[in-house]
Amino acid sequence: MSPEPIFQIHLVLGYVAWLLCFFAYIWPWLKSMHQVEAQRAIATLHSFRFFGLVFLVPGVVGPNLPAGFATFSAYGDFATGGLAMLALLTVRIRPLFWALVVAFNLVGIADLILNYYHAVQVGLPAMAGQFGATYAIPIIYVPLLMITHVAAFYLLLRPQPAAAVA
């Protein structure tokens, strides 16, 4: 079997596994929390996105990983991680915290969607081996990131009980 279908199977199963885990364990936990605490938990996960800069490290990724994909992905992750860290640092300044929560989620989900688009445009699934040591990032980490961005937006948009607003 060629690398492309293996990569695609891995990607789909990464989403399936994380969705099963998310709805069984993470989602009930997030929904039971106060809005601020739930967003802090999500921001904490996304604060590790600085790790995306690894796509720029020669020897960790293959020499033929398309530079346009690697650079865009690396800096999108870095920006998202930085915004998530800023949100965590400003939790006591609620208007700034909420603005940064919205910002890191908008930047982060746009980064992931555009990375998928760029990956398809450059034929990355067929050369998935060029991910090298970072192969686990799109298979294991990215599905969780996408799922938690969607959850963050849902939590931001759902009406809050009167007691929680006060």
Q: Which residue carries 């993470």 as its tokens?
A: 26
CB 27 within 8 A of CB 151: yes
DSSP state of 66: -
**Which pair of tokens denotes residue 35?**
């809005």
DSSP state of 53: G
**pLDDT confidence of 158, banded at 50, 70, 90?**
confident
Q: What is the mean pLDDT of the chain?
A: 95
As a whole number, mean pLDDT of residues 111-131 equals: 95
As a whole number, mean pLDDT of residues 23-50 equals: 97
As a whole number, mean pLDDT of residues 124-146 equals: 96
Domain ranges (residues) in the chain: 3-47+62-159
**pLDDT confidence of 57, banded at 50, 70, 90?**
very high
